[in-house]
Amino acid sequence: MKTVFSPLHAGHSGQMELVAGEIVPGFEKPSRAEIIKARVETEKLGPILPPESHDVALAKRVHRADYIDFLPTVWERWEAAGKTGSAIPFTWPTRGLRGDVAPRTIEALLGFYSFDGGASFVKGTWDAIKSSHDVGLTAAHLVKAGERAAFALCRPPGHHAGAAFMGGYCFINNAAVAAQWFRDQGAARVTVLDVDYHHGNGTQEIFYDRADVQVINLHGDPMTEYPFFLGHADERGAGPGEGFNHNYPMPFGTAWDAWSASLDDACEKLAAYSPDVVVVSLGVDTFEKDPISHFKLKSADYPKIGRRIAKLNLPTLFVMEGGYAVDEIGVNAVGVLTGFEGR
Ligand code: FKS
Ligand code: ZN
């Protein structure tokens, strides 16, 4: 299978993150993508292609236009305001405050367009976001052109980004943009299957009231796991979208037997929906040694995930999301892809 990758991801580097009361270097770091790329090479998965540039008008099909227009302006506004360090949001319009009036200052706008402090900017962040968007769409083009599958080695990831907010290391929802693009290209139905450890709240929000994009999520139970405020089993979609959203929250300690039972059930629902194409939000932070997660999948389990998805026998776009056990991230992510290819 072909991989699409851009070196511009590396400009999103050195950004800081607030974890447990301390500002620390972000877990979502450049070596993640580099190690996956190196594993694609050593495993001879296939050619690695650069992305083509795609207009962000495509991103505006799933994100609000003012949000997408805001992202490229963040760093220059932050600097113009005399600020140093990472641009991190810290005030949010939660219940009881106005979320409908866009304020004027950069610190206020960062809060207006986010749900947590997990998506922070440095100088190269916008170029990395745009390259990740381009990587996703370029890989989607390969699938549309007839490849059985393609791998979008996106960084930064996307599945926490909603219609008008960033958060959880995510800015543009690459998987959602690709799913919408497939619809616009004539696919009647698209499924997003999200196997990242964290619930893909952004993807769920974007497609929640739609029947043309089925969204299936396997993840840590939001009662105890980030992003906490979405991802329960009773969230089944709304209006015309009712019955097209499926959540599989699972407790800390979940290992292959229980996790794969959820995957089997998810794949049955997916097959019954009979989409023209599947977009897999591929996170490997379900790994037993992941430093921020609490599932217990082993490296040998990742090829089994790929094999199960391959059994669906549908055109498949893999979009990279999370995974923080950097030493094993290449083995695990590429393991899914080689498993998909039946080796
Ligand atoms: C560490 C707290 C970290 C944020 C977790 C974000 C997870 C991001 C991700 C993505 F795929 F988007 F990258 N809280 N104690 O893995 O879901
Ligand atoms: Zn994750």
78-94 pLDDT tens trace: 999 999 899 999 999 99
pLDDT at residue 182 above 90?
A: yes
Helix, strand, or coil (residue 16): strand
Pocket test for ligand 1, best of 16, 196, 252, 326 (most atoms within 8 A of CB): 196
Q: How far is CA 334 from CA 2, 3, 284, 314, in A?
A: 12, 10, 10, 19
Nearest Cα residue to 136 out of 89, 203, 71: 203
Residue 20, pLDDT score: 85
Q: What is the mean pLDDT of residues 265-270?
A: 99
> Which of ligand 1's atoms lies nearest the C-alpha of 198?
17
Q: What is the mean pLDDT of residues 105-113?
A: 98
Average pLDDT, the chain: 98
Residue 18, pLDDT score: 86
Residue 63, pLDDT score: 98
Which residues are annotated as catalytic?
Answer: 160
From CA 261, how far away is CA 258, in angstroms rounded? 5
The predicted-structure confidence for 296-334, as pLDDT tens digits, reads as follows 999 999 999 999 999 999 999 999 999 999 999 999 999
pLDDT at residue 19 above 90?
A: no
pLDDT band (50, 70, 90) for residue 134: very high
Least confident of 5-19, 175-189, 241-255, 258-272: 5-19
> Which of ligand 1's atoms lies nearest the C-alpha of 156?
13
Residue 45, pLDDT score: 98
Output the CA 92–ligand 1 centroid distance in Å: 19
